[in-house]
Structure 1
Amino acid sequence: MLETLLPLLTWASLLGCGLMAGVFFAFSTFVMKGLERVPPTTGITAMQGINTAVMPSVFLVVFMATALLCAGLVVSSVFTWAQPAARLRLLGGMLYLVGCFGVTAGFNVPRNDALARLSAQSAEAPAYWARYQSEWTAWNHVRTLACLGALVSLVLSRD
């Protein structure tokens, strides 16, 4: 049964990692740069809107489903360790779980939560926005690279 499910699990994980890599790449390369070019009140309000829109979205479904699929790959690698591809599936799954899911939960979401509580018109908003952009984007680069690494590992495991 695992021989039948494993290729599907790997393929679905691979697609999820690719989608997430693309989303995070977009934020790292032009979305955050675009928000940097507008006044802090506008950037804060826009990012608050983006963060609110993420919650009930297809993005969140794919993000969470990919984490579950990658967890399945990690577990399955224990039972298929004799196969050379098991190590690549383990690596791909762990890259996503730690470098994407873990970084999101530990670094990006707390910053988003703090931003949600910030009034864009407050005196501290411009300084917080500058720090938020720098820190959030740095951690987003980590997520982008982790998703790309996971994607490459899973592609290579399919050979």
Structure 2
Amino acid sequence: MTKTTNHWLTITAAVGTALTGGVFFDFSLVVMPAVRELPAEQGIAAMRALNRTAPGPFALIAFCTAVVCAVVVVQAAVRRDRTAGPWVAAATAAFLLAAVVITGAANIPISASIDALDPAAPDTAARWDDLFTQWLWWNHARLLACLAATAAFVVAMRPQPSPVVTYQR
């Protein structure tokens, strides 16, 4: 793969991680605070609707970005790029942590617990509040990991200094 192709793959990965982080940002700062203002029963209904619509185009973008990130890391490793390679590897690790690990290990199970809440049960409001808070904190973690990934990809794309050549007489 050429250096130009690798550069464009890195740009694609940076944009993908930024877009994914933007979705997490929107949820953390706009969507979830609005859901929190609702009474428990309505908040649960809103979260259930979000859970039904979440596995759409956004999920496809996130996982395609993960694939692009992996390709970039492999290419950097093959080229033995000692300057950009570690940054690309760190970016990919941060993104996979956010998009795959945290989502799969925390947000999806918490969402399933929210879906299983019985609005008529006496402890539903307290349980909803607890699950909501857990989900939101894990979403903040995903946002921060995507931010770190995007920053690392940007650092990896910085211009490399030309090697200094010295001549001996």
Q: Normalising by the residue count of structure 1, what TM-score does the alignment of the two structures yield?
A: 0.91
Q: Distance in 2 between matches of 1:116 and 1:71?
A: 33
Distance 1:87 1:33, change over 3 A: same
Aligned partner letter, 1:103? I
User: Once the 2 structures are TM-superposed, how far is the Cα of residue 81 of structure 1 from its aligned partner?
Assistant: 2.8
Unaligned 5+ segments in structure 2 are 159-169
Q: Does 1:44 align with 2:71?
A: no
Q: Which residue of 1 aligns with 2:163?
A: none
Q: Which has the larger radius of gyration?
A: 2
2:123 counterpart residue number: 124
Superposed CA deviations along residues 14-51 of structure 1, whole A, max 9, x for unmatched, are 11111111111111112111111110001110011011
For residue 3 of structure 1, what is the aligned residue in structure 2? 3
Note if contact 1:21-1:148 (Cα within 8 Å) is conserved in structure 2.
yes
Moved more, 92-101 or 114-123: 114-123
Partner of 2:34: 34
TM-score for both structures, normalised by structure 2: 0.86
Counterpart CA distance in 1 for 2:119 and 2:61 is: 30
Distance 1:16 1:40 in 2: 34
1:35/1:43 contact within 8 Å kept: yes
RMSD: 1.5
Q: Deviations over 1:127-148 (max 9, x none)?
A: 2211111111111111000001
Give yes or no for contact 1:9–1:73 (8 Å, CA) kept in 2. Answer: yes
Number of the residue aligned with 2:79: 80
Q: Shift of the alpha carbon at 1:118?
A: 1.9
% identical aligned pairs: 29
Q: Return the letter of the residue paired with 1:121.
A: A
SS in 1 for 2:120: coil
Q: 1:122 to 1:90 in 2, by over 3 A?
A: same
Shift of 1:2: 4.5
Matching residue's letter, 2:50: I
Cα distance in 1 between the residues matched to 2:102 and 2:154: 23
Compared with structure 1, are the counterparts of its residues 2 and 106 closer, same or farther at alpha carbon in structure 2 (3 Å cutoff)?
Answer: farther
Which shows bigger deviation, 85-94 or 112-121?
Answer: 112-121
Structure 2: which amino acid aligns with 1:66? T
Shift of the 73–121 alpha-carbon distance from structure 1 to 2, 3 Å rule, reads: farther
Question: Structure 1 residues 51, 38: CA separation in 2 closer, same or farther (over 3 Å shift)?
Answer: same
SS at 1:48's partner residue?
helix
Considering fraction of residues, name the structure with more helix.
Answer: 1
Which runs of 4 or more aligned residues in structure 1 lie more than 3 Å from their structure 2 counterparts after TM superposition? none
